[in-house]
Amino acid sequence: MKKILDNKYINKIINGDCLSVMSEMPDESLDLVVTSPPYNLKNSTGNGMKDGRGGKWSGAALVNGYSHYNDNMPHNEYANWQHNCLREMYRLINDEGAIFYNHKWRVQDGLLQDRQDIIRDLPVRQIIIWRRKGGINFNPGYFLPTYEVIYLIPKPNFKLVQKANAFGDVWEFKQEMKNSHPAPFPVALIDRIISSTTAKNILDPFMGSGTTAVVAMWHKRNYVGIELSPDYCLMAEQRIERNKKQSELIGLKPLTLFQETEK
Ligand SMILES: C[S@@+](CC[C@H](N)C(=O)[O-])C[C@H]1O[C@@H](n2cnc3c(N)ncnc32)[C@H](O)[C@@H]1O
């Protein structure tokens, strides 16, 4: 049964650990979760991320890591943490709600790590392929990975809006370049997800630079953002303010979504 979301969460960015913040929120009080967690990148083998040298990642912003999180847990601990986060997200969505959970498969010690240990018992309905432009990996043992995945984990009565089903399950979006967060969502990707649903209250528990919030705003939906780093909370708040001003100036035209003027 749908529950009313307390005003203290509506259109707020909360600086804190997402598991503890989510644990305070009532069951079934949200319509949608859209999120991308840290990928535990510094725990991956053979890419130079582990010791901070950069290696093949030397050109990537993520080599410097996140401002307040080191992204380097023992694998089992990481998988359990992410599984627990997903269970909390699932508790929070109502009977018509869904989670869109973005992750990346990777090769670890020569074998594919397909994230099944995170998803486990959650009711995955679909895996959407997000095809990015290019990728980083020159390992001769396998082909260059060029996609990430988005798990659609719905409650039983979740439905897309009319015609959204025709987008199919392979989506092509370029990485976001105009954003100083090290791993931002492309605005267009989140626009595809949010506009494919009627969700009113939308949570991103790993909010980063606030992409989910600004897209929700543009579609006149409510957001709830949780983010560990006070720096990224500030980044998100400033971005939301910029977008509010822009929308007052030019009105709510979805096309302007792709004209972010950052940095
Ligand atoms: C992949 S980034 C998300 C980027 C975001 N999608 C965007 O568009 O900017 C993951 C984020 O999770 C945050 N984070 C790490 N641990 C966290 C925790 N326990 N609770 C909340 N946020 C956390 C990191 O600081 C980082 O900003």
What is the Cα–Cα distance from 108 to 150, expressed in whole angstroms? 20
* 157-171 pLDDT tens trace: 999 999 999 999 999
The atom number, within ligand 1, closest to the CA of 66 reads 25
Residues contacting ligand 1 via CB (< 6 Å): 17-18, 36-38, 66, 68-69, 181, 183-185, 206, 208-209, 211, 226-229, 232
* 169-198 pLDDT tens trace: 999 999 888 888 999 999 999 999 999 999
The atom number, within ligand 1, closest to the CA of 229 reads 25
Ligand 1 geometric centre to CA of 212 (Å)? 12
Ligand 1 geometric centre to CA of 37 (Å)? 6
* 121-150 pLDDT tens trace: 999 999 999 999 776 677 899 998 899 999
Residues composing the chain: 263
Nearest CA to ligand 1 atom 17: 228
What is the Cα–Cα distance from 150 to 186, expressed in whole angstroms? 13
Angle between helix 211-218 and helix 187-195 axes, rounded to 10 deg: 50
What pLDDT does 62 receive? 66
Tell me the average pLDDT of the chain: 88
**Global confidence as pTM:** 0.92
| Percent of the chain topping pLDDT 90 | 72
At residue 244 the predicted structure's pLDDT band, cuts being 50, 70 and 90, is confident
> In order of start, what are the domains of the chain with their CATH numbers?
12-258 (3.40.50.150)
Ligand 1 geometric centre to CA of 123 (Å)? 24
Q: Which residues contact 231 (CB under 8 A, 6 or more apart)?
A: 67, 68
DSSP lists the bridge partners of residue 80 as: none
